[in-house]
Each structure stands twice: as structure tokens, then as C-alpha cells.
Amino acid sequence: MLVKHGVISALTRSTSHSPSSSSSTVLRRQQFLVRTLCASKTHLPKLIRAMSSTSEADAESVLRTVTPSLDPKRHKGQAGKIAVIGGCREYTGAPYFAAISALKIGADLSHVFCTKDAAPVIKSYSPELIVHPVLEESYTISQFSEDEKRKVQDKVIGEVDKWMERFDCLVIGPGLGRDPFLLECVSKIMLLAKKSNVPFVVDGDGLFLVTNSIDLVKSYPLAVLTPNVNEYKRLVQKVLNCEVDEEKAEDQLRSLAKQIGGVTILRKGKSDLISDGEIVKSVSIYGSPRRCGGQGDILSGGVAVFLSWAQQLKSDPESPSESPAILGCMAASGLLRKAASLAFTKHKRSTLTSDIIECLGKSLEDICPAS
Ligand SMILES: NC(=O)C1=CN([C@@H]2O[C@H](COP(=O)(O)OP(=O)(O)OC[C@H]3O[C@@H](n4cnc5c(N)ncnc54)[C@H](OP(=O)(O)O)[C@@H]3O)[C@@H](O)[C@H]2O)[C@@H](O)CC1
Ligand SMILES: Nc1ncnc2c1ncn2[C@@H]1O[C@H](COP(=O)(O)OP(=O)(O)OP(=O)(O)O)[C@@H](O)[C@H]1O
Ligand SMILES: [Mg+2]
């Protein structure tokens, strides 16, 4: 059984020919980009929906629609290859949480591109992750000339570039830190991703970078921003030149997404609000009163996986009208909140992010059984 009965043949067609070859991957991404652009600019029902008020997403139904079945004909990689760009001396937990969550939800391969200091630590958390110790912070090159620094930067970009075409989605920012040299390299990685039409989720310190250089994501329809309360405040101040207005939360989010050229924004909070500048959806089901750090990292890894899966659905004429980015956000938000609720039932005040990650599998299984 594949994703849903109506799309069996279309999905089989779309995945039967060497999906890992880079030319078919590029073609698929180009087709997807054109569809996404057309959908966001001209799709009438979407425009009509944009005029209506925010609606609660049916997150469970989205989860059932986008989650692929475990078809024995599928090969390693077809359920998603995700890469997290993050991890530095201070933060090793955040990239781990994002990358391992992607695997626990159902991606086949999860990579982490981090600094040399962070790599052995992240590897030691899990043998499941493919960890690339390639990023450099200023302190490691402080004695270098400008020319030598440029060479280091080219090497970093080259290391990521040779993998780029293989990824279905990047997560840029969990535990990245704010080192200027490192962030300059990451901005070039974003340009590479855009050139290859690879979708990316921007979170944590990636949002710090983007807020100060909004052109990095502006008008890229495959960009998803997942700000928390602070990150959202900084984005609103920078882009809309005003303060966050809770009375007009939905309209303000829509304006923000529109102003950034139709990127998708998932504003995290008591209810998660999602907009691409046209529609606004909320996800309020489930949830937990524990606010331990790392839950946003689970979410960013989840958005990457569900976005990749929703993108595969696009070849089917019966696929949902919402973009893969919106579907990915709704699915990831619903699943994280269900897993957090389940973990809280078991662990109460001692609930940690690792406990929530352990509940991802059962939460998805309850909604969408594997067999
Ligand atoms: N284990 C790890 O490795 C983890 C690493 N992480 C990584 O850390 C990096 C920075 O991300 P971040 O989330 O700490 O930065 P940001 O949002 O600026 O918050 C900074 C401070 O703002 C405050 N504050 C928070 N909420 C608030 C509220 N509702 N209303 C008002 N104030 C509020 C609160 O400080 P307080 O004011 O309480 O002292 C908070 O500490 C980033 O790379 C991320 O990925 C995390 O993913 C976690 C797990
Ligand atoms: N007040 C709240 N009530 C219920 N759920 C919430 C609340 N705030 C956040 N959440 C849930 O927790 C998820 C993570 O949001 P949060 O604001 O903690 O992200 P974050 O600060 O980026 O986390 P991280 O510590 O990983 O950086 C959200 O998607 C949302 O589902
Ligand atoms: Mg965060």
C-alpha cells in the first residue's frame, strides 16, 4: 500500500526511474518549483481561501495524507535524505535533536554539517547520523591572511556542495551559533541550496542570519522559517518595522510572509500559526505544558521530512491544494504536539526533549499505522 489509494499509480510512476540520479532529481525539483510558484501566484481557490479567516488545520488528516507507506519496492533514500547545518562548540544538542527526529519520523538518511569541535560529540550521541566536521569558526582561522580565509571558505562550501543535489531538504540553524565567519559560509550554503532548488527550513541561529540578510530567503518559495517568540519578534521588527501585535496575530503573520516574497512561516507558540502570505492555518491540538529546550529542534527536523514527503505527492492530480511547505508545517506541528503530550503523560515534570523524541514513533503510528 502506498501513501493513499488515490495516488498509488502516480507515485509508483514518479519513483520507478532512478530517483537518486541527480538529473532526475533536478528535473523533479524544477517541476515542483514551477508548480509551487504557479500555485502561490495564480491558484484561484487559494486566493479565495486567503480572504477567509484562519482555520484550524486538520493535522491528523494531513499526516495520513503525506506519510508514505512502507513499500518493499522503495529503496534507501526514497523516504527522505535530510541534512542539518548546525552544531558548534556551545551547542551540540540542537542539531542532534533535529537530525535524529528526522530519522525517528521516517527519513532514510540524516546528515549533520557542523564544526570540527562539535562533530565527535554529535557522533557519540548516535551512530545513526552521518556527521561532517566541515564548518569553521573565526577562532580557528584568526591567524590566517584574507586570502587564506577565502580558501578555507571555498573548501567549506565545496564540502557541502558535493552533497547538495542528494538532499531532499536542509534544516539550517539549530545550534549553529553566531560566529560571523561561520554565518558567512552558511549564507553561501543557502545560495547553493537555492541554485539546486533544494528546500530548506531555517531555525534558531539561521533565523538570526536571515533576519539580518532577508534577501537570502526573499521570494524563495521552498524556504520555511520556524521562529519562536524571540525570533518572530526580531523578524517583525526588521521586516515590518513595527512590534508584534497579538490582536492581529494572523494578519500580521500573513503580511510578514507576503513581505518576504511568499516564504512559509511557522510561528511557534501556544498555538502554532502557519502562513505563506496567502492562507493562515493554526495547529492547536495536543501539546504539553513543559517548555524544555529542544522542542523547536524536533519540529524543524519534522518539517523537513514531511515537506519532502509532501513534495513527492505533488505528482498526483488529487494531491492537496496546499503547498508542500504548508503541508510539512501542519504535519510536523501536529505530530510534535502529540508526541509532547504523550511524553508529558508519562514523565510529567521531568519530561525532556529526548522523551518527546521517543514518543514520535508511537504518535505517528496511532494516526497512521505502518501496516
Ligand atoms: N540543547 C541544545 O543544544 C539546544 C540549543 N539550542 C540552540 O540555542 C541557540 C539559541 O536559541 P534560543 O532558543 O536559546 O534563543 P532565543 O530564542 O533568542 O532565546 C534566548 C533566550 O530568550 C528568552 N526567552 C525564551 N522564550 C521566551 C519567551 N517566551 N518570552 C520571553 N523571553 C524568552 C530566554 O532567556 P531569559 O530571558 O529567560 O533569560 C531564552 O533563553 C540556537 O542555536 C538554538 O538552536 C536550542 O535549540 C535549545 C536546545
Ligand atoms: N505555550 C505553549 N503551549 C503549548 N505548546 C507550545 C507553547 N510554546 C511552544 N509550544 C510548542 O513547542 C514547540 C516548540 O516551540 P518553542 O517556542 O519551544 O521553540 P524554540 O524556542 O525554538 O525551541 P528550542 O528550545 O528547540 O530552540 C512549538 O511548535 C509548539 O508546538
Ligand atoms: Mg529554537
pLDDT tens, position by position, 140-169 = 999 999 999 999 999 999 999 999 999 999
List, as ranges, residues with CB under 5 A of the ion ligand 3: 204, 296
Residue 167 is which amino acid?
Answer: F
Annotated binding site: 175, 228-234, 268-272, 287-297
Distance 340 CA to ligand 2 centre (A): 10
Largest CA distance in the chain: 61
Atom of ligand 2 nearest to the CA of 94: 26
Residue 324 Cβ contacting ligand 1 at under 6 Å: no
| Strands lying side by side in the sheet with 272-275 | 55-56, 280-283, 272-275, 264-267, 223-225, 200-202, 169-172, 81-85, 109-115, 130-135
Distance 132 CA to ligand 2 centre (A): 28
**For residue 25, is pLDDT > 70?**
no
Distance 324 CA to ligand 1 centre (A): 28
* Secondary structure letter of residue 174 according to DSSP: T
Segment 184-193, tens digit of pLDDT: 999 999 999 9
> Which CATH architecture describes the domain 59-68+77-333?
3-Layer(aba) Sandwich (3.40)
pTM of the shown model: 0.88
Residue 336 Cβ contacting ligand 1 at under 6 Å: no
Rg (CA), the chain: 19
Q: What are the residue ranges spanned by the domains of the chain? A: 59-68+77-333
**For residue 31, is pLDDT > 80?**
no
**For residue 15, is pLDDT > 60?**
no
User: How confident is the model at residue 253, as a pLDDT?
Assistant: 98
What's the length of the chain? 371
Distance 342 CA to ligand 1 centre (A): 24
User: How confident is the model at residue 30, as a pLDDT?
Assistant: 58
**For residue 93, is pLDDT > 90?**
yes
> Best substitution site from 208, 265, 295 to test ligand 2's pocket, by max atoms within 8 Å of Cβ?
295
**For residue 16, is pLDDT > 50?**
no
Q: Which residue is closest in CA terms to ligand 2's atom 16?
A: 296
Q: Decide which of 330 and 13 is more confident.
A: 330
Reported in sequence order, the residue ranges of the chain that DSSP labels E, i.e. its strands, are: 55-56, 81-85, 109-115, 130-135, 169-172, 200-202, 223-225, 264-267, 272-275, 280-283
Q: Decide which of 129 and 314 is more confident.
A: 129
Distances from the Cα of 162 to the Cα of 158, 188, 313, 345, angstroms: 6, 14, 27, 44
